[in-house]
Structure 1
Amino acid sequence: MIHKEIFNNEFLIRNATTADVVQMEFVQKQCYPSLDQSELLNRDHFMNHIKIFPEGQFVVEREGEIVGSASTMRIFFPKENHSFLATTDNLWITKTHQKEGDWMYGLDMGILPEYRGLGLSRELYLTRQEIAKKLGLKGQIIAGMTIGYGRVKDRMTIEAYCYALEIKKFTDPTVTPQRKAGFRWIKPLYNYINDPEAGFACILLYFPVDENYKLKLEAKDGI
């Protein structure tokens, strides 16, 4: 289990407990105002995640207040295109968490708006990476929400948007920090999430424990 102080002991990153779920629900609502209600995690979902995979659930605490949280599960690498609800068992993870899975799948990451820009999300990703390594996993997989894509989706494809991010033509509020944290491109995901700001799309990314690891996928997987 994780329990570490960061930023001159101002913040604490630790594993989430059942006592945190109400505040985690609040963080979720504040972080994803444009996400469809059917895809917002609530206290019951968080409670179930802690029950199923306690070492994979995290919070950031400041003076007793939860200012950020992250939820994960274990899976084998997804070979087919998938959606957020399908991957997460409609947010419950009861049926989709794979106890022997060799990747940590990040289904949620949220930092309260007033605490963004401090590097807390990066610290959470790195903490998850520590746990992935301790568990003997290959690393993390996430579907990065392309929050900036919704503004340009009528003018460019998600592939073009990915390329523009890759060459640093512009930045994305979510994907750019994820890339800086160590995540690498895999492929775009169409109609992954019901969020118009993200253009209903995401980018599948991975962060290997072994920095020399190269993900090899077949052509049919869209790489």
Structure 2
Amino acid sequence: MYRKELFVFNGDRPAKAVIRNYRAEDFADLIRIQQESFPPPFPSELWWNEEQLNNHVTLFPQGALCIEVEGEVAGSMTGLIVDFDPMHPSHTWEDITDEGYIRNHNPKGNTLYVVDISVRPSYRKLGLGKWLMFSMYDVVVHMQLDRLLGGGRMPGYYSKAAEMTAEEYIQAVISGELKDPVISFLLRCGRTPVTVIENYLEDEQSLNYGCLMEWKNPFRRT
């Protein structure tokens, strides 16, 4: 099981943090984090429920991580293993994650797929999302998988959709012409774009698009 102790910084003040596998006693905190992280118009039915969380900790506990700051659960990240074919990348979030229930988790797969990453808004200046992402890279290396993969929301796209396609929007973010709250964050974490997927997720701000982004295991040759 995973446990990492570190310090994060709130301005110049260090705060003790722990990244670990989440457990049943964390479920209420994890649901509250989802509610704070994804307020309307994000669909409330996509917030975690206890059945989903129970599947995470029983089917693939290695992919169920949370971060505590001074004893308070402040964020989480969840994944499952899938067998991904780079030649056929298109899919929906619902299909590849089993709508977040991960009953399709495949221990013999080649890819750790990100189901979700959430950090409470009041903790977002501490770099917790990046630490969670780096910790999931640890899981990829430890389990000798080919890559970490996931679809990033594009919440800034709705304001630019009249001017450019979704693919052009992603290129503008990559070039530095535009910034996107999610895609720019994933780039800072070392993720690289694979393709843009239409109808990836019900998400009004992204106009239902998602950008599939990966981190390749540097110890694997694929």
TM (norm. structure 1) is 0.90
Letter in 1 for 2:135: T
Range that drifts further, 154-163 or 72-81: 72-81
Which residue of the partner structure matches residue 67 of structure 1?
74
1:179 matched to 2:187? The reply is: yes
| 1:211 CA drift (Å) | 7.3
For structure 2, the 5+ residue unaligned runs are 8-13
Per-residue CA distance 1:50-104 (angstroms, 9 max, x = gap) = 110001100011233211001100011152421111111122111x211111110
176, 196, 200: which one pairs with 1:168? Answer: 176
| 1:207 CA drift (Å) | 0.2
Which residue of the partner structure matches residue 4 of structure 1?
4
How many residues are paired up? 213
For structure 1, the 5+ residue unaligned runs are 216-223
1:100 matched to 2:100? The reply is: no
Which residue of the partner structure matches residue 199 of structure 2?
191
Which residue of the partner structure matches residue 35 of structure 2?
29
Asked whether the 8 Å contact 1:39–1:194 carries over to 2, the reply is: no
Alpha-carbon spacing, 1:62–1:118, altered in 2? closer, same or farther (3 Å): closer
For the aligned residue pairs, the C-alpha RMSD in angstroms reads 1.6
Secondary structure of the equivalent of 1:205?
Answer: strand
Asked whether the 8 Å contact 2:15–2:69 carries over to 1, the reply is: no
Q: Distance in 2 between matches of 1:6 and 1:111?
A: 17
Per-residue CA distance 1:86-128 (angstroms, 9 max, x = gap) = 111122111x211111110001000001111321111111100
Q: Distance in 2 between matches of 1:118 and 1:164?
A: 27
152, 160, 166: which one pairs with 1:158? Answer: 166
TM (norm. structure 2) is 0.90
Which residue of the partner structure matches residue 136 of structure 2?
128
Asked whether the 8 Å contact 1:148–1:198 carries over to 2, the reply is: yes
Per-residue CA distance 1:23-76 (angstroms, 9 max, x = gap) = 111111111113213322223211111110001100011233211001100011
Q: Distance in 2 between matches of 1:150 and 1:15?
A: 35
Which residue of the partner structure matches residue 10 of structure 2?
none
Runs of 4+ in 1 over 4 A off after TM superposition: none
Alpha-carbon spacing, 1:9–1:37, altered in 2? closer, same or farther (3 Å): closer
Asked whether the 8 Å contact 2:196–2:210 carries over to 1, the reply is: yes
79, 100, 107: which one pairs with 1:91? Answer: 100
Query: Quick one: percent identity of the two aligned structures?
Result: 25
